[in-house]
């Protein structure tokens, strides 16, 4: 990612004027193992009903929707996929849909990326996101975050949040992923 891309993302977030957090591969590169990513994923504390304002802010920042039906797509997925008019760089804006996402946004910290300050999800919340998603790439990301962060991560918070969600959804695979990545005893293998 280039500083110009981070600056265009910062411009978009400034125009939106809503709390937000960078998640996905960019955040994994900060909190876990650096990895190649060609896009940016950002969760915003806005409702899909504010889509016209979001599209206007995106246009003013040099982005256009990547779908012919942005309203329909966003209402169905809670995501507005964008592409930079300048260089084709892609950004997915994710409309926060749960109280937990809003809490995670409130815990995001500002990180300088390419000399540009952007709000980035905390390592603990990113670990929750990745283990909850559970795809193979997400589990790899979670392992790298847990390894790199070590004792700096609030394991009790992450385990508690995930086990609460696993109990609510009766998701035994999530329980297994939690025990694999964050065993009850942090000294255990």
Q: Please, what sign has the CA dihedral across residues 111, 101, 28, 72?
A: negative
If you average pLDDT over residues 55-77, what whole number do you get?
Answer: 96
Q: Do 116 and 161 share a domain, yes or no?
A: no
Per-residue pLDDT of 119-172, as tens digits, reads: 999 999 999 999 988 899 999 999 999 999 998 999 889 988 888 877 777 777
Q: Do 138 and 173 share a domain, yes or no?
A: yes
Q: Do 143 and 97 share a domain, yes or no?
A: no
Which of 121, 147, 170 is a domain's end point?
121
Q: Do 75 and 116 share a domain, yes or no?
A: yes
Instruction: Report if residue 161 sits inside a domain.
Output: yes
Q: Which two tokens stand for residue 8?
A: 């265009």
Q: Say which DSSP state 117 is in.
A: E
Q: Do 95 and 138 share a domain, yes or no?
A: no
Instruction: Report if residue 77 sits inside a domain.
Output: yes
Q: Do 31 and 104 share a domain, yes or no?
A: yes
Q: Do 22 and 100 share a domain, yes or no?
A: yes
Question: H or E element: which one contains 147?
Answer: helix 136-149
Query: Confidence class of residue 95 from pLDDT cuts 50, 70 and 90?
Result: very high
Q: What is the pLDDT of residue 185?
A: 61
Total domain count, the chain? 2
Q: Do 55 and 134 share a domain, yes or no?
A: no
Instruction: Report if residue 189 sits inside a domain.
Output: no
Segments forming the whole domain that contains residue 146: 128-181
Over the chain, what is the mean pLDDT?
91
Instruction: For strands 90-95 and 39-44, give the pairing.
Output: parallel
Instruction: Report if residue 188 sits inside a domain.
Output: no
136 burial via Cβ count (<10 Å: 0-12, 13-18, 19+) = exposed
Look at residue 42 and tell me whether its pLDDT is greater than 80: yes
pTM of the model: 0.90
């Amino acid at each position: 990612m280039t500083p110009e891309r981070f600056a265009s993302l910062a411009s978009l977030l400034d125009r939106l004027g809503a709390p937000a957090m960078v998640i996905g591969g960019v955040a994994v590169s900060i909190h876990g193992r650096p990895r190649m990513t060609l896009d940016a994923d950002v969760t915003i504390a806005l409702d899909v009903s504010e889509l016209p304002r979001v599209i206007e802010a995106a246009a003013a920042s040099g982005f256009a929707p990547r779908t012919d039906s942005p309203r329909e797509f966003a209402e169905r997925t809670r995501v507005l996929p964008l592409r930079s008019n300048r260089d084709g760089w892609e950004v997915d804006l994710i409309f926060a849909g749960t109280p937990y996402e809003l809490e995670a946004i409130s815990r995001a910290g500002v990180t300088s990326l390419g000399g540009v300050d952007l709000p980035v999800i905390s390592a603990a919340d990113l670990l929750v996101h990745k283990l909850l998603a559970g795809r193979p790439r997400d589990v790899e990301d979670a392992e790298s975050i847990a390894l790199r962060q070590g004792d700096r991560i609030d394991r009790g918070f992450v385990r508690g949040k995930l086990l609460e969600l696993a109990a609510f959804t009766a998701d035994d695979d999530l329980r297994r992923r939690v025990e694999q990545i964050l065993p009850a005893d942090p000294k255990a293998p």
